[in-house]
């Protein structure tokens, strides 16, 4: 006799416990690690320089202006530090808060458009249905913050469009879209939700009130959008124009034009084929793509009935994917803001799908594969058979103790996930799936990232540099990365970041020769000048898959001038 499938209804108590577990998993590890590449050290360095200098309008990367992103996200990190006075905690706080805002916005919108049960499933599906959401919630990259702003914008706009009129919510949504735009240029994308909304109205042959009062309210919404954009753009432009400083005016032009429209149409980095995001969805959006054989027919039936909720949510999600697919430059984090819309479209049908034996088997199999894979990899490596792990450890410069600690945490993860799979087999799948992802992000935050911290953050490398040159020495940098300047144990002198290596050497050699007994240069190995006596150069170690050197004073060949160095090597170093 077949065992009855347990009901997957989420009670209020169960939902609150699972939501608390999700929040704790996202927060796990805050305060226990340093910023790590690719993007975290860059933003923290700029935020730290804001606090140290008192100059908040124009972010800097060392001595250079940093014009690749607006200042808003760095403001949030700097403001967090001003409150907490601890960079290890402050740099991750914006991602945590905006991840929680995304969960709340998704829950409340699901409750408003359907009912409380759907809202509960939507919030937890956002956490447990898409790996990328949890990963980015634990990273101090700009994308989780802008995704949270866009989720709030969607909340306001869709409450108005699908459950309204609610002009206050719409105005808040417009303001959040403006704030998202000035955090990262794509923050305006929630406004595209009007396209599928008007499309479904047209298909239903429904009239839209274009009265004078609504035109005025709509114009006010546009004003709130501009107000959100103006939070930083207006004072920055005013300061740039009033100063008559060509560097500040070049900064404003670079940010507002080259880093937005030009970068979108003619990307010079991270160039990928048009189908790139398909592989991102298949891997980083797990386990949701595994449900597509059941989801696609369910969604299609509702779209054919012109259910505005599904047409608008799925239509907007597809528009976001198309928007980013059209640009030649692509990174996996770009499509993160689309996830809440797909989680909301998933939630109303999810409880019914979980009653199907095939869906249960797929999700339990997913948990089993993750659990067995993690445990088996850890056991093989601990037993001396993990050649791939050993190769990666050597490449990243990890010592044996770090590798063993990481593998023990990986083994603990495998055991925890297998326990969740066993629970799902005996009882309800969805709570077990939430618990499985909570275990994943708790282990990731408390164990794996902290075990890798000294190596991946360059903290260990910069500590060796400080010990080698002595407490009284001065340090300069050529061909450096943001984590090196951030983790230096003393104020370090840089000679530009994007400046050509030849130009950096011209300034660095003059600086060092002013006091060769006390001044050292920290140098990326491929950037070493041929004018330096290589026999006196010290190999100080490897970090982030790069070899680093120390150049003491008195190594310069008299009369030698550094020739132009490899531009391709420098471009590769700056992009990785």
pLDDT tens digits, 432-450: 999 999 999 999 999 999 9
Determine the pLDDT at residue 135.
Answer: 97
**Among 303, 372, 439, CA closest to 25:** 439
* Sequence spans of domains, the chain: 33-271, 357-456, 459-575
Distances (CA, A) of 264 to 185, 192, 257, 260, 261: 10, 17, 10, 6, 5
Question: CB-based contacts of 57: which residues, under 8 Å, 6+ apart?
Answer: 71, 232, 235, 236, 239
- pTM: predicted TM-score of the whole model, two decimal places: 0.94
CB atoms within 10 A of CB 530: 12
pLDDT at 8: 80
How far from 156 is each of 117, 174, 220, 385, CA to CA, in Å? 20, 8, 14, 54
**pLDDT number for residue 139:** 97
CA angle 247, 251, 252 (to 5 degrees): 125
Please say whether the beta carbons of 476 and 438 come within 8 A: no
| H/E run at residue 457 | none
**Which residues in 442-475 are b (16+ Cβ under 10 Å) and which e?**
bbbbbbbbbbbbbbbbbbbbbeebbeebeeebbb
State residue 5's pLDDT score. Answer: 79
Phi, psi torsion values for 164, nearest 5 degrees? -85, -160
The predicted structure's pLDDT at residue 1: 36
Please tell me the predicted confidence (pLDDT) of residue 573.
Answer: 62
Q: What is the pLDDT of residue 212?
A: 67
For 224, other C-beta atoms within 10 Å of its C-beta total 20
Low-confidence ranges of the chain (pLDDT < 50): 1
Residue 271 phi/psi, 5-degree rounding, is: -75, 125
What is the number of alpha carbons within 13 Å of residue 8 lying toward its C-beta?
27
What's the rounded Cα separation, in Å, for the pair 525 and 424?
52
Q: What is the pLDDT of residue 392?
A: 67
Q: How far is CA 212 from the centre of its chain?
A: 42
How do residues 83-122 score in pLDDT, each as one tens digit?
Answer: 999 999 999 999 999 999 999 999 999 999 999 999 999 9
Q: Rounded to 5 degrees, what angle do the CA atoms 63, 528, 247 make?
A: 20
């Amino acid at each position: 006799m077949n065992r009855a499938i347990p009901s997957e209804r989420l009670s209020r108590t169960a939902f609150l416990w699972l939501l608390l577990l999700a929040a704790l998993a996202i927060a796990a590890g805050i305060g226990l690690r340093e910023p790590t590449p690719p993007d975290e050290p860059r933003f923290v360095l700029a935020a730290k320089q804001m606090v140290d200098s008192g100059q908040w309008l124009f972010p800097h990367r060392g001595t250079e202006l940093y014009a690749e992103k607006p200042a808003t996200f760095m403001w949030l990190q700097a403001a967090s530090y001003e409150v907490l006075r601890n960079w290890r905690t402050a740099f991750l706080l914006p991602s945590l808060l905006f991840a929680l805002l995304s969960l709340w916005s998704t829950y409340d919108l699901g409750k408003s458009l359907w009912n409380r049960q759907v809202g509960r499933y939507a919030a937890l599906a956002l956490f447990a249905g898409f790996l990328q959401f949890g990963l980015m919630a634990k990273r101090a990259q700009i994308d989780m913050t802008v995704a949270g702003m866009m989720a709030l914008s969607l909340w306001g706009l869709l409450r108005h469009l699908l459950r309204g009129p609610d002009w206050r919510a719409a105005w808040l949504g417009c303001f959040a879209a403006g704030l998202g735009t000035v955090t990262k240029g794509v923050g305006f994308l929630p406004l595209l939700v009007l396209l599928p909304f008007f499309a479904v109205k047209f298909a239903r042959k429904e009239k839209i009130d274009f009265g004078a009062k609504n035109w005025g309210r709509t114009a006010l919404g546009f004003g709130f959008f501009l107000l959100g954009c103006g939070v930083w753009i207006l004072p920055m432009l005013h300061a740039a124009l009033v100063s008559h400083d060509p560097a500040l005016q070049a900064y404003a032009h670079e940010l507002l034009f080259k880093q937005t429209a030009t970068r979108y149409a003619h990307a010079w980095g991270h160039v990928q084929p048009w189908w790139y995001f398909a592989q991102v969805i298949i891997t980083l959006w797990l386990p949701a793509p595994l449900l597509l054989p059941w989801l696609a027919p369910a969604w299609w039936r509702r779209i054919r009935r012109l259910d505005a909720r599904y047409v608008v949510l799925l239509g907007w999600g597809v528009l976001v994917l198309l928007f980013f697919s059209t640009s030649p430059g692509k990174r996996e984090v770009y499509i993160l803001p689309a996830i809440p819309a797909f989680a909301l479209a998933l939630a109303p049908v999810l409880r019914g799908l979980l009653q199907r034996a095939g869906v249960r088997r797929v999700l339990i199999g997913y948990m089993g594969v993750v659990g067995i894979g993690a445990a088996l990899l850890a056991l093989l490596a601990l037993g001396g058979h993990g050649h791939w792990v050993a190769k990666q450890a050597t490449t990243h410069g990890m010592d044996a103790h770090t590798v063993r600690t990481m593998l023990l945490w990986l083994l603990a993860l495998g055991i925890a996930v297998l326990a969740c799979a066993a629970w799902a087999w005996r009882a309800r799948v969805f709570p077990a799936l939430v618990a499985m992802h909570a275990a994943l992000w708790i282990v990731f935050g408390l164990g794996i990232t902290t075990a890798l911290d000294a190596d991946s953050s360059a903290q260990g490398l910069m500590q060796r540099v400080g010990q080698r040159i002595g407490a009284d020495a001065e340090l300069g940098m050529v061909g450096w990365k943001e984590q090196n300047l951030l983790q230096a144990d003393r104020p370090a002198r840089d000679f530009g970041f994007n400046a050509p290596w030849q130009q950096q050497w011209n300034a660095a050699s003059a600086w060092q020769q002013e006091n060769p007994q006390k001044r050292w240069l920290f140098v990326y190995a491929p950037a070493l000048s041929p004018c330096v006596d290589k026999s006196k150069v010290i190999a100080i170690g490897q970090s982030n898959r790069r070899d680093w050197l120390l150049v003491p004073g008195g190594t310069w060949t008299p009369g030698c001038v550094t020739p132009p160095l490899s531009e391709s090597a420098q471009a590769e170093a700056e992009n990785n």
